[in-house]
Amino acid sequence: MALHAFRSLLHPARLTATLVLILFVTGCASLAQRDPVRINVVGIAALPGQGMEMRLAVKLRVQNPNDDAIEFDGVALELEVNDKLFATGVSASKGSVPRFGEVVIEVPVSVSAMAVVRQALGMIEGKPANTVPYVLRGRLGGGLLGGRRFSSTGTLELPAPTKDMPQGGS
């Protein structure tokens, strides 16, 4: 009886299905052990815009705290400022983040005139602040599962008004 059960396991279709199941389970288990990618905004520079849009180059430091390098083919991101969507951008850049390493990626983003108006109105309505909260969300493209999503939060420091600034009036 045991020999018959063993022979039925060796049937090509069952053997293939068993191997696929084992690979799937071990593959999922290895993916679950990866630490998330860390992303920080390390610079923002002005780019030439068109019409009523503003263009910025956002520099991101991508840190890989894992044992394996991360290959990427494309980057997409969106930036919220004061809980409002402010800018979006994509880049077709390719590269690799080495194991326990980091790289800086530059992504051009577009800011619509309406986003600038919304932010200005929000600052006028609220009390003035020296820091503005931001949320950065995005995806590094590529890989077997279509890439890796990331999210980062922080605050942007605004320059404080100087006492020498004219106050208006007469």
Helices (H), the chain: 2-9, 12-32, 113-125
pLDDT recorded at residue 41: 87
- Predicted pLDDT of residue 76: 96
User: For every one of its 170 residues, what pLDDT tens digit does the chain have, with 9 covering 90 and above?
Assistant: 555 555 555 556 665 666 666 766 555 544 546 788 899 888 889 999 888 889 999 999 999 999 999 999 999 999 998 888 889 999 999 999 999 999 999 999 998 887 777 777 766 666 566 778 889 999 999 866 678 888 988 887 766 555 554 554 44
Question: Residue 128: its pLDDT value, please?
Answer: 60
Best CA proximity match to 81, nearest among 21, 158, 10 = 158
Q: Which fold has domain 35-157?
A: Immunoglobulin-like (2.60.40)
> Long-range contacts: 133-136, Cβ < 8 Å, 24+?
133/81, 133/82, 133/83, 134/41, 134/79, 134/80, 134/81, 134/86, 135/79, 135/80, 135/83, 136/39, 136/41, 136/60, 136/77, 136/78, 136/79, 136/80
Say which DSSP state 67 is in: S
Give residue 119's pLDDT: 73
At residue 169, the pLDDT reads: 47
